[in-house]
Amino acid sequence: MSDWLRIAEHIAARWAILAIDTLLVAFLIYRLLLLAKGTRAYQVLIGLLVFVLALYLSDALGLETIHWLLDRMTTLGPVALVILFFPELRRVLETIGRVEFWRSSFGAANTEPIQRAINEVVSAVQQMARDRIGALIVWERKDRVAEGNGIELQAEITSPLLRTIFYPGSPLHDGAVILRNAEIVEAAVYFPEISQNPDIPSSMHTRHRAGIGITENSDCISIIVSEETGQITVAVDGAWTQNVDADHLRRLLSDLLTGEARPRILERMGVTLSNVRKSRAERHANKRTEEKTA
């Protein structure tokens, strides 16, 4: 009987180790997918899955020529991926080495760095609005906006640095600044597309349309300062709110970045979004009426 007990204990120990090993691998893959989500690396991962599936199917179906070509491509594939996505791999390794990565995985995330960054951004935006300095600040959430199109900074968010970047004499003052968590990721970023929403007032020009446009395709937050009027505009999910003061801006950023409840600000953004949709629906209805009349 003792031999059977030893065998059972050995099997149980092996299964426990196997379960722990599997859970750790699944956890790391899950976290890496979260890091890659919204970036071009995420699209490459999908492409790799399609490639592996095609390699398997070509072998199973006996497509020898296609399988031979795909098999040859696997030889140089890993080296090509490392060269092509070296910046993304470096960011992943840097993120894994940070305490915040593991803290957010096993417990509640520390919101103190974000709150400190919010205060710095509000201070910078408030002063730039007062001095009539145009600015476009895009704060990432889950989706990645920075794609290496601007000047990489990887610097802590501070009010003096933001104001220096957007100062008219600075080489980086044109374009947008991309924020991620509590860091300035890139500066002088130009978005390839701007919003074509006809409901955007004529007083909003290219900077505003670029800021609103990027929120139509991602869950980021755009903060726009007009150099003509000094007015602060915040755009989320394709909707915008003009003439936002410092207190409203701080509350809104806290809502969207830390999840703290601020119903008044969210309601204000919701009203703006509903007005945009209502105006769009009325315009389409009038167009259909004109077509029927004609």
Q: Kindly state the average pLDDT of the residues 118-123.
A: 95
The per-residue pLDDT of the chain, averaged, comes to 78
pLDDT at 264: 41
Amino acid identity, position 185: V
C-alpha span between 31 and 35 (Å, rounded): 6
pLDDT tens-place string over residues 186-223: 999 998 888 888 888 888 889 999 999 999 888 899 99
Please say whether the beta carbons of 194 and 215 come within 8 A: no
**Dihedral sign (CA 104, 34, 183, 144):** negative
Write b or e for each residue in 43-68: b if 16 or more Cβ atoms lie within 10 A of its Cβ, otherwise e.
ebeeeeeeeeeebeebeeeeeeeebe
What is the pairing mode between strands 151-156 and 183-189?
Answer: antiparallel
Which of 56, 83, 106 delimits the end of a domain? 106
| Domain assignment of residue 179, given as a range | 112-283
In this structure, is residue 288 part of a structural domain? no
Q: What percent of the chain is predicted at pLDDT more than 90? A: 29
Indicate whether 266 and 201 sit together in one domain: yes
pLDDT at 265: 44
In this structure, is residue 36 part of a structural domain? yes
Which of 79, 106, 133 delimits the end of a domain? 106
Q: Kindly state the average pLDDT of the residues 163-188.
A: 91
Confidence of residue 157 (pLDDT cuts 50, 70, 90): very high
DSSP label of 155: E
In this structure, is residue 266 part of a structural domain? yes
Q: Which of 99-103, 175-179, 200-204, 247-251 has the lowest mean pLDDT?
A: 99-103
Which of 73, 106, 139 delimits the end of a domain? 106
Residue 240: which CATH number? 3.40.1700.10
Please say whether the beta carbons of 141 and 181 come within 8 A: no
Indicate whether 208 and 124 sit together in one domain: yes
In this structure, is residue 186 part of a structural domain? yes
Alpha helices (H) in the chain, listed in sequence order = 2-36, 40-60, 64-84, 86-96, 99-106, 112-130, 159-166, 206-216, 246-258, 263-293
